[in-house]
Amino acid sequence: MWVFYLIALPLTVGMVAATLRYFAGPAVPLHVLATVGYAWLCSLSFVILVPTDIYTTITGNQKGDVGFFWSWSYWSTFVLAWAIIPTIKGYEDAGDFTVKERLKTSIRANLLYYEIVGSIGFFGIVLIIIMHHDWGGAILGFAMACSNTFGLVTGAFLLGFGLSEIPKDIWRNADWTRRQKILSHMVAKMTVKLDNARQEYCNTITVVQATSKQMSKRDPLRPFMDIIDNMLAQMLRDDPLFKLSGGNKLAENDMDYDTDEKTMAALRRRLRIAHEEYCRSKSKYTTSVMEALELEDTVTNYEQHDADGWKYVSDLRESRSGTLGSFLDHIEFIWRCILLNRLLKVLSVLLGCISAAILLAEATLLPTGVHLSLFSVLINAVGKQEILVQVVAFAPLMYMCICTYYPLFRIGMMLVYSLTPGQTSSVSLLMICSMVARYAPAISYNFLNLVHLGGDVRTTFEKRMGSIDDAVPFFGRNFNRIYPLIMVVYTILVAGNFFGYLFEIFGSWKRFKFWTEEEEDTNGFDPSGVMILQKGKLLIYLDGYLFFHSTVHMCFSFSCRLILRDFSTVFLLQMDFLN
């Protein structure tokens, strides 16, 4: 048992640390990094504990340390997701100037959330009194029932979407022409979003500077204004290439921020949000442009492989020299132009088969006597071989986690939070980690229900979750076996694009089609996106990759003017090169 721990635990810690370092923005404070890191570690520990729990159950050697780790992981994620993280998220989102005021703002912002949670808790206590249960176990069981029901029901729809869309997305991305069309649309959309974010950032900076200029040094609000000025100065130092564009017109109420401490806090929050949105849009824009240019390089190399001697020639970097450089160019050509897209298609088919196996196991979860679970067969087949049991349990569980979290990020990209490399804000990190913590126990429990170990044998975690039956019988084991049927039906509908056809009938619901938006991007290349990429290629030829890499962060040193005429969107690209 400890062999798997010694391998998996360091890998988990390293993966959490690397993920945080990759996504977290430079302004994320240490206490947010610690909270998010601990929440992710507790959530991912379920993926380690489930295989270990299954092995100890098969061997009949269920030790107390497994139960201790279950309790530690479960209640850590429970308290973090439902109490601590919402408070910290509200604290980080507040613009107040003192810890006390930021906490007050956080509590007020989460008041409705706390009222709902408190009402559910009060209902549970009343229910326990009516049923004359033991207070200690019943209250814990009711809390687990509420959390588990939320995770299972909502997680079923997320899991179903991921099981269908992840294999399909990988297959689509293996099609170079289709991916180029999608990227051309993405570049055009991100250009508009970046321009809007830049304009809002410039307007906010203008408001801050104008407010600071009109406020005297003896003004009681001057200390707050100094904090905002220092904050702006630091932002501009971190991005020395940013230039404030002129001609920004202020609204009538833009100069009303100097009335009291609350309005100053609102100005500080506005500046932070505008800066974060600009940095996030810039990062997404850069990523989409670079991916599009790299894919164009790959297609060009594949079409001209005979002329280049089956070597990869890139316009985005200097060519390699020497014998080793020629060998590396040859290896890169084989990988990018021959192997990668074929491996993606193989991976798509493999994941599609795993998705089908999960759906079949979910569909036969009811106590009918017929359990068609491939995972149960494999685990029972390997017997008591520790490493094989844990690997066979680990792989599908990790895939189920990825399928559940995948739509969370897709939905977040359409709403208020997203994982952006190097620019993810504190609020986005906390929002994402709260979702991860809420669904980790439910995913693990669902997977354990798919694994039939024979007879009435139950793992330690299943026994712990069994206390739900005593507290709230309806939300116990029987409910956990009924709800997957809904998920199976939902997954089939998603795979058949039923909701896409439904939304086509109700055109006003088009904004909710976050899972079918790529379908619209395959009708052809977006002229605006193609023009932007051509400008980028021109900059590469003129000034080399190093200049391009710096100007990419400056929107290729041009601003996009969005003009609406005759209900159509026209992009006018005006080159504004920096001195």
47 in a structural domain: yes
> Is there a single domain that holds both residue 213 and residue 347?
no
Q: Which range (4-13, 25-34, 318-327, 469-478) has the least confidence?
A: 469-478
pLDDT for 548 equals 42
Residues 6+ away with beta carbon under 8 Å from 505? none
pLDDT surpasses 90 at 55: no
42 in a structural domain: yes
> Is there a single domain that holds both residue 198 and residue 165?
no
Q: Categorize the per-residue pLDDT at 246 as very low, low, confident or very high, splitting at 50, 70 and 90.
A: low
> Is there a single domain that holds both residue 35 and residue 158?
yes
Q: Which range (62-71, 166-175, 509-518) has the least confidence?
A: 509-518
- Is the CB of residue 51 less than 8 Å from the CB of residue 394? yes
> Is there a single domain that holds both residue 351 and residue 500?
yes
- Is the CB of residue 35 less than 8 Å from the CB of residue 84? yes
pLDDT surpasses 50 at 566: no
Residues 6+ away with beta carbon under 8 Å from 571? 188, 191, 192, 528, 531, 560, 561, 562
301 in a structural domain: no
Is the pTM higher than 0.85?
Answer: no
> Is there a single domain that holds both residue 506 and residue 382?
yes
Return the DSSP state at 473: G
306 in a structural domain: no
pLDDT for 559 equals 36
pLDDT for 498 equals 79
318 in a structural domain: no
> Is there a single domain that holds both residue 462 and residue 368?
yes
Final residue before a domain boundary, out of 289, 312, 338: 289
Average pLDDT over residues 67-73: 84
- Please identify which residue in the block is written with the tokens 């990190």: 429
Average pLDDT over residues 316-337: 85
310 in a structural domain: no
Q: How many domains does the chain have?
A: 2
> Is there a single domain that holds both residue 130 and residue 234?
no
> Is there a single domain that holds both residue 351 and residue 474?
yes
pLDDT surpasses 50 at 573: no
DSSP per residue, 173-222? HT-HHHHHHHHHHHHHHHHHHHHHHHHHHHHHHHHHHHHHHHS-TT-TTH
> Is there a single domain that holds both residue 233 and residue 353?
no
Final residue before a domain boundary, out of 266, 289, 312: 289
> Is there a single domain that holds both residue 254 and residue 364?
no
pLDDT for 171 equals 93
Final residue before a domain boundary, out of 289, 317, 351: 289
Q: Categorize the per-residue pLDDT at 141 as very low, low, confident or very high, splitting at 50, 70 and 90.
A: low
Percent of the chain with pLDDT over 90: 22
Structure token digits, residue 109: 């912002």
476 in a structural domain: yes
Domain of residue 250, residue span: 191-289
The model's pLDDT over 74-85, given as tens digits with 9 standing for 90+, comes to: 888 888 988 899
Q: Which range (208-212, 322-326, 343-347, 559-563) has the least confidence?
A: 559-563
Question: Exposed (0-12), middle (13-18) or buried (19+): which is 191, by Cβ within 10 Å?
Answer: buried
Q: Categorize the per-residue pLDDT at 249 as very low, low, confident or very high, splitting at 50, 70 and 90.
A: low
> Is there a single domain that holds both residue 223 and residue 167?
no
pLDDT surpasses 70 at 53: yes
Q: Categorize the per-residue pLDDT at 5 as very low, low, confident or very high, splitting at 50, 70 and 90.
A: low
> Is there a single domain that holds both residue 449 and residue 402?
yes
pLDDT for 116 equals 73
518 in a structural domain: yes
Average pLDDT over residues 377-388: 82
pLDDT for 372 equals 77
pLDDT for 33 equals 93
